[in-house]
Amino acid sequence: MVRLDFVTLFPDLVRSALSESIMRRAVEAGIARFETTNPRDYTYDRHQKVDDVPFGGAAGMLIKAEPVALALESLGIHSDQPDPEVEVIVTDPTGDRFTQAVARELSQRRRLVFLCGHYEGIDQRVVSRFATRALSVGDFIVTNGELPALLMADAVVRLLPGVLGSQDSLRADSFGDGLLSAPNYTRPEVWRGEPIPDVLKSGDHKAIEKWRRTQSLLATKAARPDLLAMAKLDKADVDVLSF
C-alpha cells in the first residue's frame, strides 16, 4: 500500500477530491491510503495563526515554519532522518516541472508527503530542511498548493498496479509512450452526420494499430512537437512525420 499525506490548511478540500472516482477505488482496494494534517493544529495561540508578514517588506503573507515543521514531525518526517522511500514534495511554481516520467518515478515510492503552500508560500527554512522535491504543474499561479498536489497525486495513483481496470489504458494514455494519444470514438457510428473512421470498424487490428500510431504522431507534431525529440521513433514513424 502506498501512503499519500497532505499537509494542508484546507483538509476538507483535499478529502472531498480524494473521495471520488479512481482515488476512492484505490482506497477501497487497499492500494492507496490518504491522510491530511493541518498545520493549524500545531499552533500555540488561540487564533491558530499560521501566517505572518515576510521579512524585507515583500507583499502578502507567508506560512510560518514552526507549525509546518511540527505537522511534518507528527507524521514521522524528520529532517535529520531521511528515508529514500519517502518523498516530501512542496508544490511551488519555482520547482521542477511535473511530468509523466516524474509520476512514474514517484509511483515507486512507498510514501509521498505533499506540502501545500498558500498565501505567498512557506518560510524557506522549513522547505529547505524537510522537502526532498519542489514540483510545479505548469507556468501559472493558483490560489493554493492543494490543487497542484491533487493533480500530482491523481497522476501517481492511477499508475499503481490494480487501480485501473486495464493496464492497456495506461499504455493508450497521452504521454504513456512519450506521445499524445490518438482520437477515440464510441457509439453511435454516425453522430450528427459525422461517421467514425472506417478503419476502426474493419476488425483489422494491425491496420487499426497503425492508424492509431499515425494519428498519435500527427497530433504530437501539431500540438507538442517538443515531445518528438524525446520519443522513441522508428523509421515508419519518421516517414509519417516527414509528410
SS3 156: helix
Q: In which residue are the cell numbers 507549525 written? A: 67
User: Which of 1, 2, 20 has the alpha carbon at shortest distance from 150?
Assistant: 20
Q: Please, are residues 157 and 146 in contact by the beta-carbon 8 Å criterion?
A: no
Q: What count of other Cβ atoms lies within 10 Å of the Cβ of residue 118?
A: 19
CA neighbours closer than 13 Å in the CB half-sphere of residue 199: 13
Catalytically annotated residue among 120, 154, 177, 237: 120
Give me the helices (H) in the chain, please: 11-18, 21-28, 65-74, 100-106, 124-130, 146-157, 167-172, 205-223, 235-241
Q: What is the largest CA-CA distance in the chain?
A: 70
- 25 in active site: no
The per-residue b/e assignment along 83-103, b for 16 or more CB within 10 angstroms, e otherwise, is: eeebbbbbbbbebeebebebb
- 239 in active site: no
Q: In which residue are the cell numbers 487564533 written? A: 47
Q: Please, are residues 211 and 199 in contact by the beta-carbon 8 Å criterion?
A: yes
User: Which of 20, 198, 3 has the alpha carbon at shortest distance from 83?
Assistant: 3
- 46 in active site: no
Catalytically annotated residue among 173, 212, 213, 237: 173
How many angstroms from the chain centroid is the CA of residue 164?
A: 16
Catalytically annotated residue among 93, 104, 212, 213: 93
- 183 in active site: no
The residues assigned a catalytic role are 93, 120, 158, 173
